[in-house]
Structure 1
Amino acid sequence: MNSVCRGNGRTFVVTSVSSDSHMWNLVFLQLLLEENGGNVINLGACTPDELVMSECLRIRPDALVISTVNGHGHIDGLRLIRKIRGHSVLASMKVVIGGKLGVHGSRQAGSRAELVANGFDAVFEADADLDRFLDCLGLGTPAPQRVAPTEIRST
């Protein structure tokens, strides 16, 4: 897909794991991040680990967002995060993963802990709160602005 849309905020690389051919989740995340002011580079589905790493080296995003719905995110995610954390330039990059991380769904609570222990900054299950996800990426909803009484339009 390799789509780029420029916002006014932070830059995100969105991708799936190498074994996941689903695109709808990546398009959803791209639109969500763009609507909240993010610049998004969407690498698409079935992205090889080496391509994810080379694009992150080239772009230097504020965060790498990995989404998966095929149930193999735990396995593929561990392999990828170990490569990222082992790379001298990418080791400090913020990396989050979410979606259907295992074939048994949220019953695999231990897999979340293992993903974090191996270097993910955050792990989001498929039913995660989107506000928490956006807050994690620094795109949380700004506080409502108060309007002085003289600025209120009367009808």
Structure 2
Amino acid sequence: MEQHAVEQHGKAEPTGLDVVVTTMASDSHTWNLVFLQLLLEELGHRVTNLGACVPDELLVAECRRIEPDLIVLSSVNGHGFNDGLRVIEALRARPELVRTPTVIGGKLGISGSGTPARHRALMAAGFDGVFEEGGSVLDFQSFVGSLPAGSVARALPAGSGVLL
């Protein structure tokens, strides 16, 4: 059987998002990042995984360099709420990142998940979605699917639900 090479013609634009996936400085967990990376890649997105224990300055610098369509912060150690408040302030302080959709999820506190006050505080601080442990992966997929690629000037739905 003869095989033929497939040639692409024209200038088709990629349809997926450029996504940065990371933990914060205090979180050394990596399996959550591997899961998120594989999930997002399966959905057709390009992922830069910054890894675990990422210092705030490095996270901001890499996001400025990459100019992602979405930033996903994941926490498993229970310090995500406090770390997240600090990180979102640093991200939103940069004019080029102020409108970049940014979500946080996972185990965000040590006193259980899903507290409405914690969710409201993170959203008020500047997150576009909060996905706490015990939620549905479908909620996260739906949020990601609502984002157009290549544009950070967009209105965003509020998130709820998945372990990031």
Q: What runs of 5+ residues in structure 2 fail to find an aligned partner?
A: 1-13, 148-164
Match of 1:56 in 2: 63
Q: Secondary structure at the match of 1:40?
A: strand
1:125 aligns with 2:132: yes
CA distance 1:36–1:107, shift in 2 (3 Å): closer
Q: How many residues align?
A: 134
Measured in 2, the distance between the counterparts of 1:57 and 1:135 equals 26
Measured in 1, the distance between the counterparts of 2:137 and 2:29 equals 20
1:72 aligns with 2:79: yes
Measured in 2, the distance between the counterparts of 1:139 and 1:38 equals 13
Give TM-score scaled by structure 1 length.
0.82
Q: Deviations over 1:32-75 (max 9, x none)?
A: 00011010000000001111111111111110000000000000
Equivalent residue in structure 2 for 1:115, among 118, 122, 142? 122
Give the conservation status (yes or no) of the 8 Å contact 2:114–2:132: no
Q: Describe how 1:1-40 pairs up with structure 2 within 5 A.
A: 9-40=16-47
Measured in 2, the distance between the counterparts of 1:78 and 1:33 equals 24
Give TM-score scaled by structure 2 length.
0.78
Measured in 1, the distance between the counterparts of 2:41 and 2:111 equals 31
Q: Secondary structure at the match of 1:25?
A: helix
Shift of 1:136: 0.9
| Consecutive aligned runs of 4 or more in structure 1 exceeding 2 Å deviation | none
- Tell which deviates more after alignment, 108-117 or 18-27: 108-117
Equivalent residue in structure 1 for 2:143, among 105, 128, 136? 136
Q: Secondary structure at the match of 1:98?
A: strand
Match of 1:101 in 2: 108
Shift of 1:138: 2.0
Measured in 2, the distance between the counterparts of 1:72 and 1:109 equals 17
RMSD: 1.6
Shift of 1:139: 6.5
Shift of 1:107: 5.6
1:86 aligns with 2:132: no
